Copies of this chain bind each other. A is one copy, B any other.
């Protein structure tokens, strides 16, 4: 079992996301949270999973020279991809409206990159989930932004909030990946690491 395989490691989750913390906890392994302040910038020619992988590796590289043989750092980055571009966190109310209008009635892709890092080894991988939104009314968009203030969320929505309940017609792939961590894949990769 995973907790036996990892019993000699100190595991660090480098993420401030309460959702990621909850998801990793669900794998029944002990870990601590140490997150570093990283400027999430990436080369503009990167696309889709290249962005998520670049950013989770960037977050992991912040631990270079700081960790010993028996420490395993887990970092992750989730992006929302639609019409050939990655959606960022909304800058203000109008930007959030505009982002949700882009998602309304369309399919977008949520990609989470995960990086596992020890002193001597770095391994990264990703998972992609397709999310199909119903057509949202202006009233629904305004209700959500006003009441849930999704300014800290790439793509301006949280799948586990009202808008996720109301707008997601179906997904193809992992739901937990949309929440921020592809738990099944992470479990497999940790078992093999």
Contact = CB atoms under 8 A, between A and B. Distances in A.
A1 B139 contact: yes
Interface string A77-88: 000000000000
A134 B189 CA distance: 14
Contacts of A1: 139-140, 143
Interface string A130-168: 000010000110010001000000000000011001111
A26 interface: yes
A70 B85 CA distance: 48
Which size bracket describes the interface of A in this complex? 20 to 34
Given A1-B140, A1-B143, A143-B1, A184 B165 contact: yes
A183 B161 CA distance: 11
A17 to B, nearest CB: 16
A174 interface: yes
Contact of A165 (B26, B140, B162, B172): B26
Contacts of A143: 1
Interface in A1-38: 1, 23, 26-28
A27 B165 contact: yes
Contacts of A188: 134
Contact of A23 (B28, B129, B165, B167): B165
A168 B182 CA distance: 10
A-B complex: 10 closest residue pairs judged by Cβ atoms: A165-B183, A175-B175, A26-B165, A166-B187, A170-B173, A172-B172, A28-B162, A1-B143, A27-B165, A166-B184
